[in-house]
Structure 1
């Protein structure tokens, strides 16, 4: 940032950067769109008949493009009533769109615009249905040449087929700019940029070219951008673009101001004495570390995909993705000459040929796309495994392995042996032993052991930023069906356990920075990271996660505060105050962003089971941010008070005008309205199933908790009853199935407790040893931090993670190779296996 440059060069560079960003936005991002309309105008006499609740019109169409934006439906002057329905069904007769449109008498006769905003598959048939809603409309149709309009199918009215007829309407598709526009605009942008660069060069030939710094140029460009963006957002809030409620708009306004202040501070704060982090020299000397961080991020992403998998094939693919990335994390510890040499070239040639033969031999026509992916990943993992084994064997023969911490290493080795011997048919334990056994051995031969925690923490943060970006774009925060926000997952418990481990990384990074300096200019980025992660944790409203994170924060702040006696208390209070302040500042900003950005993008991603749980039409499409179906501040307060403080839902009414009857209708009785897309009004069409049968159940319970255990006074949500069932069925050798038989006769999904689950899966002795290993890990990690806190960056990471997993593991099942908590715990203990030097 302090680099000195000529002002002309700086301006030219900014012009070229703007040009590059605009070109990228054209392709490959393709964020600019155009509207392509298909106009259906009958060629002859136009017929108009009454359409009401019983008499409907159905028009079959063939999708021409992949996103339909709106449909303009013609209505004549005889139409009367308040609203009518337009629905679209796919070829499986599933409702993908329903829009209740207001009839505008002043525009009759004429076209009524209906918002569609749904993705379609080009070439597939769809069915457009018109139906009255306590109203009677008159729409026109007439003869259309199929040769001129082959994308129009059969038209039905009431109980009869209208041969050769088509509905009078305009179908408006929204699509990225076509190639001619992309090339044309791209050429225009390049031309303007070239002329601008040439103009700057000519101008400064006549005028003195002064020197400036990169920092001044950065401030001069970014400050106006942030200012304009803040003003636009404030204007949108004040005009009610995001809703009409005063409380919501007040929070949005404050959030915009806070975000602008954060950005302005980040741009303009004093950088005297601060050194650039990612310099060219750093990238050259730490390339392997960056690769390992990205690989760890990929492995954590594989764990997240596993936890969100709904079927065995999803788990299979996710496991292999995780192990593929994990293999790269191991290889990142190799020296360049250990990767590129004659032995590896010979091996890779032979392994590649055999891998191709294996792939072709096992590939069958019956395999679907996911099965083929799993086979490909299996071959790649096998090749990388052999590659790692060769280097590991050579290194061990050359006695490169560091000295072991014999007691703790023995604990780990015995545990590894026990979960293999008593695996009871499970293979994930074997995979865990092989994967982390190789990781530990190669770490022991690595020359940069002091960098491991930085790489792990950075990998976790990279994955969190990536997944949160996805959530901001595609995971809407919904009022009634998703009040406890699930981030990139489909259940709150998975989200809370994942965020617990991200909290560990964020708080270690922040507290390590606060230990060096509490000046805002030195730690503002870490404060923002911790505040955002904590905000998403608060969105889950998970009492168990709050408990685990609360204990972990108190512990982490305590061991990293520094000082003695009174100074320790002062440092503890200051650090805790900064953590709390970070959450208070970031919570409204994060809430506002997560509530509104997915609605602006309007490309929601739902898991299969979520379609039967939540997301009404106003959220799924249309960019209607003012709808009450998006999360509101008062609703968040209401649910938070219920889940955390036991205040019954519906007690609080911060909006004033939110009547109890409306609350009951929208919340208590919203299952049918939210899942049937309004199909409670029966559609009568010849040859089409009754759409009321398309309603999916909203009674989804993600965990097998006994119904009798779900009492209002049961703060554990039935976990105590599950624990009792598991305790009663423990034995000495374990079980093949991980689910115990509950009192209700059902199989539990899991024990909601890592200690019980290990004992149930592998037997009581293994369970006892697992508890001892946990205690040994905690003590060893505390001793490690005490000895290495001044030498190793983030030396507290193993202690913090072990506390978080130990506490969270008492109420949730999180110890598994493909659970983010289990993966990060096994990564965190890596240096503990070896003696400190």
Structure 2
């Protein structure tokens, strides 16, 4: 469900309320996860607060839903929000009773939890107009304080990995029927190749964790082969996105995975494991590319997401060999071209040169809609990125900004709405103190989870470390955040492993 929420919130138009509907579903799902630990006997023992919430929460929720005007297009969003708050109320009552009355909660790393709490309060009391930090404080605060049994934690871990992998199968199955390969940077189930690359990284983390799990438990060789080939499949689709940031993060993840699996076997086998992973990519690339290219034309029923339709896209009447489809030569030219372009830009532009060009285009970056660069300068990736960073750095303060005060006109055809960097974006949204605390938490959790895996060889710690790494590393250069996005949801879930000792 988290995969579906991620896809729907990132590809909707925002004009029919379904982005809000799916975004709010995160609260309902987290409430179900929290209430799965609740026993009927516990409810009967403290039935009064549950009864009061049923009456009051139900009445307020119904009033909120029916109080909509006939012109409000977001009734579905209101219903999902009311349901999420209603279910989360039960989870909050259960958590308060367990912690405050029964004194039952997991062993906590109190320093980490305190820093996390400081970060959340800095977000809540900033000038930002977002309400999701308060929702996440309640949801994940309850999640961290719930004393799941070892069996429940194992079910949660396996369910998370299996759900992500199942989501990948469902998404790619849909793509092989309804999503023609007509954009050289493969977009899959998204309308942006970078978002698609980010999704594949999360799937790759789940597959790597599965490989560690089956290796540690000495499962059947056929099961091991299945997951190794699965890693090759996911890496193949990552290559098809031609996303340089995604490729770099995938390389970092492969390096981390090799270290993790060598901890289970021997450090002398790191090259053997690397060659095995490379062989899996080589074997699966032709199959995945062929399925992506040749299966959708069989069904002749393309599906577009918001902002995708154009005359240049493949339509149902186009033949299977239409020039609109991407062939292998076109893909290789584009992939190699982006690699060479990266090195050329790095060699041609020093930081001083980029600063001079930006200054030549506009002495001071304005806060209004006056274009900063000329339209012909948007092909210079490094100049564009440095200009964006310069603007957002100039906007940093202690308390953040509401969304209406953010963004600028890069050139006459392009409005920049986010910082292309997760730390700068959070600093702009919530203030510099929150940005610093978030950076400390990210680094601290990566180190802590790495030490936990080194000591216990726990695949859950490995998965958590990868889930923390992805939004942080990918977010250095591209969009990797957003309320209810898969990356941020898994980041907060992974932090439980760093907060709760003994798990």
**CA distance in 2 between partners of 1:443 and 1:469 (Å):** 38
TM-score by length of 1: 0.52
Deviations 1:587-625 (A, max 9, x none): 11111112122221222111231113741xxx3214732
Q: Choose 1 or 2 for highest CA Rg.
A: 1
* Aligned match of 1:392: 95
User: Which of the residues 239, 257, 268 maps onto 1:556?
Assistant: 257
* Shift in CA distance, 522/360, structure 1 to aligned 2, threshold 3 Å: closer
Q: CA deviation at 1:743?
A: 6.0
Deviations 1:326-373 (A, max 9, x none): 3222223334545788939846863685267425631432234xx221
User: Which of the residues 290, 298, 318 maps onto 1:592?
Assistant: 290
Q: CA deviation at 1:762?
A: 1.5
8 Å CA contact retained: 1:451, 1:793: no
8 Å CA contact retained: 1:754, 1:814: yes
* Aligned match of 1:305: 8
8 Å CA contact retained: 2:400, 2:430: yes
Q: Does 1:453 align with 2:157?
A: yes
* Aligned match of 2:379: 711
8 Å CA contact retained: 2:61, 2:86: no
8 Å CA contact retained: 1:453, 1:828: no
* Aligned match of 1:728: 394
Equivalenced residues, count: 470
Q: CA deviation at 1:563?
A: 6.3
Q: Does 1:583 align with 2:284?
A: no
User: Which of the residues 93, 112, 119 maps onto 1:408?
Assistant: 112
Structure 2 gap ranges (5+): 344-371
**CA distance in 2 between partners of 1:360 and 1:756 (Å):** 37
* Aligned match of 1:262: none
**CA distance in 2 between partners of 1:626 and 1:451 (Å):** 47
Deviations 1:73-115 (A, max 9, x none): xxxxxxxxxxxxxxxxxxxxxxxxxxxxxxxxxxxxxxxxxxx
Q: 1:661-680 alignment to 2 at 5 Å?
A: none
Corresponding residue SS for 2:309:
helix
User: Which of the residues 245, 250, 267 maps onto 1:544?
Assistant: 245
**CA distance in 2 between partners of 1:340 and 1:311 (Å):** 42
User: Which of the residues 456, 462, 477 maps onto 1:788?
Assistant: 456
8 Å CA contact retained: 2:25, 2:81: no
User: Which of the residues 257, 260, 268 maps onto 1:569?
Assistant: 268
Structure 1 gap ranges (5+): 1-297, 649-703
* Aligned match of 1:800: 466
Q: CA deviation at 1:833?
A: 0.9
* Shift in CA distance, 475/641, structure 1 to aligned 2, threshold 3 Å: same
8 Å CA contact retained: 1:486, 1:540: yes
**CA distance in 1 between partners of 2:66 and 2:342 (Å):** 62
**CA distance in 1 between partners of 2:217 and 2:255 (Å):** 19
8 Å CA contact retained: 1:532, 1:586: yes
| Higher fraction of helix | 2
* Shift in CA distance, 614/322, structure 1 to aligned 2, threshold 3 Å: farther
* Shift in CA distance, 708/788, structure 1 to aligned 2, threshold 3 Å: farther
8 Å CA contact retained: 1:453, 1:795: no
Q: CA deviation at 1:547?
A: 0.5
**CA distance in 2 between partners of 1:327 and 1:386 (Å):** 8
User: Which of the residues 315, 334, 343 maps onto 2:19?
Assistant: 315
| Higher fraction of strand | 1
CA RMSD of aligned residues (A): 2.9
Q: 1:453-602 alignment to 2 at 5 Å?
A: 453-478=157-182, 482-515=183-216, 520-562=221-263, 567-570=266-269, 572-602=270-300
* Aligned match of 2:354: none
**CA distance in 1 between partners of 2:89 and 2:30 (Å):** 14
Deviations 1:254-299 (A, max 9, x none): xxxxxxxxxxxxxxxxxxxxxxxxxxxxxxxxxxxxxxxxxxxx12
User: Which of the residues 638, 646, 666 maps onto 2:333?
Assistant: 638
**CA distance in 1 between partners of 2:309 and 2:23 (Å):** 25
* Shift in CA distance, 389/582, structure 1 to aligned 2, threshold 3 Å: same
Q: CA deviation at 1:495?
A: 1.2
* Shift in CA distance, 543/724, structure 1 to aligned 2, threshold 3 Å: same
8 Å CA contact retained: 2:373, 2:411: no
8 Å CA contact retained: 1:321, 1:377: yes
